[in-house]
Structure formats: structure tokens, C-alpha cells
């Protein structure tokens, strides 16, 4: 009888220690889950802010103003548009002085076209 009682006491002690250990492991895992969820929420908010900034920075009106101010670019004139099929004809034509002054790249293209036969 004493051996059985001692065995049950040792078994109860071992189970209580195991239960105590599992309880604290579960609490640690729950805290880790809370921290991860908080981190996910913060990252989603950061992504939302970055998307809003990206939309602002890629606003076509804003980019047009910056291109005009810093690069000297102007909107495309429909009269100057052509296809690649007509590119050789365009480069061989004489370009007026006004267009050369407005866009130095055109004068370079027309000069190259006049040099080659």
C-alpha cells in the first residue's frame, strides 16, 4: 500500500510539473502571437502610407510640372508625332530654326540624317 501511495504521489508531482511547464510555454506562445499580430498591423499601416506616397509621387500632373521645371520638357505636339516607318523621311527633312532652338535633340537627329547619304 505504501508503494502505491508513493507511486501516485510521484506521478501527481511529475504531472503537476509538466502541466506547469506547458502552461508557461502556452503563455509565451500567446505573447509571441500577440506581438506578431501587432507587427503585422504596423506593417500593413506602413504599406498603406507608402502606397499613398507612391500615388502622390506618380501623379501625372505633378510629374509634368517637375519635368517642365527641371528638365525643360514640354508636352508632345501632335504635329511632331510620327511613326517609325516615316522616321527616315523625318530625319532627312530640314528642320526649321524654331524647332532646333526649341529641342536640341531634333537638330542632332537632323544633322546626322543630312550627313549620311
Give 4-40 pLDDT, tens digit per residue.
999 999 999 999 999 999 999 999 999 999 999 999 9
The residue that leads in pLDDT, 83 or 116, is: 83
SS3 25: helix
pTM: 0.50
In order of 53, 54, 70, the CA distances from 48 in angstroms are: 9, 10, 29
Digit-coded pLDDT (tens) for 39-86? 999 999 999 999 999 999 999 999 999 999 999 888 878 877 777 776
In this prediction, residue 101 carries a pLDDT of 54
**Cβ neighbours of 101 (radius 10 Å):** 10
Amino acid at each position: 500500500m505504501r508503494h502505491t501511495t508513493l507511486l501516485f504521489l510521484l506521478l501527481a508531482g511529475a504531472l503537476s510539473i509538466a502541466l506547469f511547464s506547458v502552461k508557461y510555454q502556452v503563455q509565451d506562445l500567446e505573447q509571441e502571437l500577440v506581438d506578431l499580430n501587432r507587427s503585422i498591423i504596423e506593417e500593413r499601416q506602413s504599406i498603406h502610407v507608402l502606397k499613398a506616397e507612391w500615388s502622390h509621387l506618380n501623379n501625372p500632373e505633378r510629374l509634368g510640372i517637375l519635368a517642365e521645371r527641371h528638365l525643360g520638357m514640354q508636352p508632345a505636339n501632335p504635329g511632331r508625332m510620327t511613326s517609325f516607318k516615316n522616321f527616315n523621311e523625318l530625319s532627312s527633312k530640314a528642320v526649321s530654326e524654331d524647332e532646333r532652338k526649341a529641342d536640341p535633340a531634333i537638330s542632332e537627329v537632323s544633322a546626322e540624317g543630312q550627313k549620311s547619304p
